Amino acid sequence: MKKVSDIIKGTKAYYCVDCGKCTSACPLSRFGDYSPDGLVERALLGLPVQPDLRIWSCLTCNRCKEVCTYGVEYPEFIRGIRSVALEEKESGVCAHGELFSLMKLFTFTHEREQKRLNWVSEDLKVSEKGDILYFTGCLPYFDLVFRDLGVNTVEIARSTVKILNKLGIAPVVMNNEVCCGHDLFWNGDIETFKKLASINIQNIKDTGAKKVIFSCPEGYRTFKLDYPDFFDFDFELVHISELLSEKIEEGKIELHQIDDKVTYHDSCRLGRHLGVYDAPRRVISEVATDFVEMESNRENSLCCGTSGWTNCDGISEEIRKERLKECTDAGAKIMVTSCPKCLIHFKCHMNNRKGEYGTEIVPFEVFVARAMGLV
């Protein structure tokens, strides 16, 4: 069993001088009673932190880590504390019922045949084996759960494949793909995460793919930063925005320009976790002649208010409201987002406040596919 003292050591929490910089940057603290350095200080004093329900509220959005000048890895600290709490049978509240248990079911692959590829329509060119693979992630499942919000997550997958087809790529898509394990990992369930990871890596190896393309920032982060801690693999990992940005530089892509004011919402995983800020902007500003930034952007971006489906509450709603206010203040007609969860969370907030917002939220891939005349 992992001890709190090991977590303090592993995440350099002992460097904390309680300066409060993390708390004053944290999106949760801004709207509610939450303090990263307060929790760290308690752990440093040897007081128990795992029973504190607030450990499940952390967005692990990296805002605190980004501003911390002492190198304390608070999101990883929280992840560790959650593992300890799980062992003590504590857990966060999944805002969407049984989603977590669904993810766990995937680990018993031999017993359950998925119909994951129902979204692959006739007009899409995909392969079973090949050099380039598209890791679709949870998009087909989100479509079932969140369809009533008016989000069409399979549209993201379809757009991605259409874009790739246009670039002459018929990507491999896997029916036996499983959840990347991101949410379980961040909620402390490392064992199930490892099972999922090993299934995915084996299945990808079986297709012979040399390059894996992601549309989902969470999947991309998990493969890029977390899988290598447990498993070896040598396929290359690329986010669709990075691929497109490269193609634009090479002049291999034609995009119809639009005059609408467009802004971009950095998701915490693609932005602060992976540092991919420029590629999506490079692509979007190629389409939108009037690209604007919101007040907080790039490493200082406000997030969508929930991560890992855990503890979505009033504070989450306040964060969304503030982010959408920034979007309105910037005068943007379209807000492009790279993460399906950001899309879901903002749409949910807007659905509850009909007519209050004049902004359209468009997934990055759909935005590009439109500009390429593909949808």
Partner 1 sequence: MNDKAVLVIGGGVAGMQAAFDLAEAGIKVCLVERTLSVGGRMAQLDKTFPTNDCAICILAPKMMDCYRHENIEVLTLSEVIAIEGEIGSFKVKILRKSRFIDEDKCNGCGDCARVCPMGILNKFDMDLRVRSGAYIPFMQAVPLIYALDRDKCMRCGLCEVICGKDAIRYDQKPEIVERNVSAIIVAIGFDPLDPSGLTEYGYGKYDDVITALEFERLICAAGPTGGHVIRRDGKEVKRIAWIQCVGARDTRENRPYCCSVCCMHATKEAILTKEHYPEVETFILYTDLRCFGKGFQEYVNRAEDDYGVKYIRGKPGEIREKENKDLEIFYSPSSDKVEKMAVDMVVLSTALIPSEGVEALAEILGTELDEYKFFKLKDPYNPTETTRAGIFVAGYCQAPRDIPECIAHGSAAASRAMEIVLGGSYDRRA
Binding site for partner 1 (CB under 8 A): 15, 17-26, 29-30, 33, 35, 37-38, 41, 64, 66-71, 295, 298-300
Total count of residues recorded for the chain: 375
Q: Which CB sits closer to partner 1, 73 or 189?
A: 73
**Shortest distance, CB of residue 302 to partner 1, whole angstroms?**
10
Q: Which CB sits closer to partner 1, 23 or 107?
A: 23
Instruction: Put residue 309 in one of left, alpha, beta given phi > 0 → left and psi -120 to 50 → alpha.
Output: left
Q: Which CB sits closer to partner 1, 198 or 328?
A: 328
Q: Which CB sits closer to partner 1, 13 or 334?
A: 13
Q: How many CB atoms lie within 10 A of CB 358?
A: 10
In a 10 Å sphere around its CB, with 0-12 CB exposed, 13-18 middle and 19+ buried, how is residue 152 labelled?
middle
**Shortest distance, CB of residue 313 to partner 1, whole angstroms?**
17
Q: Are 177 and 135 in contact (CB under 8 A)?
A: yes
Long-range contacts of 109-113 (CB under 8 A, 24+ apart): 109/176, 109/178, 109/199
Q: Are 57 and 75 in contact (CB under 8 A)?
A: no
Give CA torsion, residues 221, 90, 195, 207, to 10 deg.
-40
CA distances, 103 to each of 94, 283, 325, 354 (Å)? 12, 33, 34, 32
Q: Which CB sits closer to partner 1, 27 or 280?
A: 27
Q: Which CB sits closer to partner 1, 66 or 313?
A: 66
Q: How many CB atoms lie within 10 A of CB 265?
A: 27
**Shortest distance, CB of residue 241 to partner 1, whole angstroms?**
21
Backbone dihedral angles phi then psi of residue 135, each to the nearest 5 degrees: -85, 105
Q: Which CB sits closer to partner 1, 96 or 325?
A: 325
CA distances, 278 to each of 214, 242, 246 (Å)? 17, 9, 11
**Shortest distance, CB of residue 336 to partner 1, whole angstroms?**
21
**Shortest distance, CB of residue 295 to partner 1, whole angstroms?**
7
**Shortest distance, CB of residue 66 to partner 1, whole angstroms?**
8
Q: Which CB sits closer to partner 1, 33 or 260?
A: 33
**Shortest distance, CB of residue 132 to partner 1, whole angstroms?**
35
Give CA torsion, residues 224, 230, 233, 238, to 10 deg.
-10
Residue 156 has, within 13 A of its CA and on its CB side, a CA count of 31
**Shortest distance, CB of residue 72 to partner 1, whole angstroms?**
9
